[in-house]
Amino acid sequence: MPLQDLTPQLRTRLSRMEKAVGWFVLLAVVLLAAGFAYYVYQLAERKGWFVVKAPYYTYVDSAAGLHVGDPVMLMGFPAGSITEIKPMPANQFSYNVFVKFVLKDPNIGYMWTVGSVAKITTADLLGKRQVEVTKGTAGYPTYIFNPLQTVSIAVARTLANRSDWLLAQEINAKSGTNLLAKPKDALTEVDLNQVEQAGYSEIEIMDQKINQKLMTGIWDPDSGRYDNYDKIKHTPHFNGYGLSAVEAPAVTEQLQQIASQVQHALPGVFALTNELARVLSHSATLTSNLNLTVVQAHPLVTNLAAATAHLNQPGALGEWLLPTNLNQKLQGTLGSANTLLTSSRTNLTDLVQKLGLSLDNLAGITSNLNAQVQANSNMLASVSQTVVHADQFIQGLKRFWLFRSLFRHKGQAEQPPPPPPKPLLSPKAKEQRSR
């Protein structure tokens, strides 16, 4: 039915219905758009689209077990993901595979220039590997979030609140060996005169009062300074901060090495099993021969047991070795020796007692002599004079003609008496005699 044929009341109702349907459709579209926006927001938050990410890269020997999108681990927690894996050019002989990955904030703060490396470790037994970065131990942060500024030495001297400005580069001495200042040093601690004498006309500084959400600088190890991240990230060959790799062999390579070692060891194992079989066969032969030997030795063992069973009875082995008459003679000899030793011990005791008495008497005589000597100090002198006079008397007897023959030794001829000594003359008498 055409709309013109409807009554005014029907047309009014239809117009109201159309408006209600329009509002319902509009509300449904708005709710659908809001739900879609919330879903996109949750997905972005879950995927980390709104989280700050810092790019890093490393070089590995093999890409086996690594895939784009795999998580990058830090201290056992997912800290980022792999974004790119590609082989190096054919004319590049230093590295094989380029691996690029990103780390999410706040994991970026754990990456420092010293101690932070990329480890390529085994993830499971099926050949999968993963990238694991390590926490830094020293050096400088790989990325900074403070605004950078390059100023001249003169401007650096005139800055207000110099303690709020930090150095963003290494300052080396003119010789190039000594480090005058390093990043994160406050300007108040830096001797700008030494910096100027070292040949620096400008220095790079950063404002520590301001922490931006995005990275402002990346450390350049070649120049020893922080480069402006906003400018350098648009360069064609920018890949982020490079980490050295510590790569473990893939599981397949490890299994291949184990298989090679087993293959090399199998001939030795087979030879060892052959030797073991030969030893076992010889052992079986030896046990069979030993069984025969035991059977043959059984009568000997029986006789020996019977002989030794009566060792503690009369007529035992001891009496076989020592007959009865020899045993009696041996006992008599031992008894005589015992009696002799007893008597000798008695005589020796008497002799020792008598010798003790003699020594006591001798000690009494010497003590009396000692007392006499102590009482009469001239006794020794008198004894000495007596000995001297006795010697003179004997010498005189030797020269006397009557007793001279008594002191002559056997075979010694009689010697004439010595001529009488010449009389002593005075010098005047000697002159008269010489005339």
Q: What is the pLDDT of residues 165-213, one digit of tens each?
A: 999 999 998 877 788 999 999 998 988 998 998 889 999 999 999 999 9
Q: What is the pLDDT of residues 5-58, one digit of tens each?
A: 666 766 677 778 888 888 899 999 999 999 999 999 888 877 777 889 999 999
Record the pTM.
0.54
User: What is the secondary structure of 44-112 as a DSSP string?
Assistant: HHHHTTTS-EEEEEEEES--TT--TTPEEEETTEEEEEEEEEEEPPTT--S-SEEEEEEEETTGGGG-E
Burial 10-25 (b: 16+ CB within 10 A, else e): eeeeeeeeeeeeeeee
What HEC string does 167-227 produce?
ECECEECCCCCCEEECCCCEHHHCCHHHHHHCCCCEEEEEECCCCCCCCCEEEECCCCEEE
Rounded Cα distance, 415 and 71, in Å = 138
- When computed from its CA atoms, the radius of gyration of the chain, rounded to whole angstroms, is 63
Q: What is the pLDDT of residues 222-280, one digit of tens each?
A: 999 999 999 998 888 899 999 999 987 766 666 677 777 777 777 877 788 888 888 88
Tell me the angle at which helices 379-399 and 324-375 cross, rounded to the nearest 10 degrees: 100
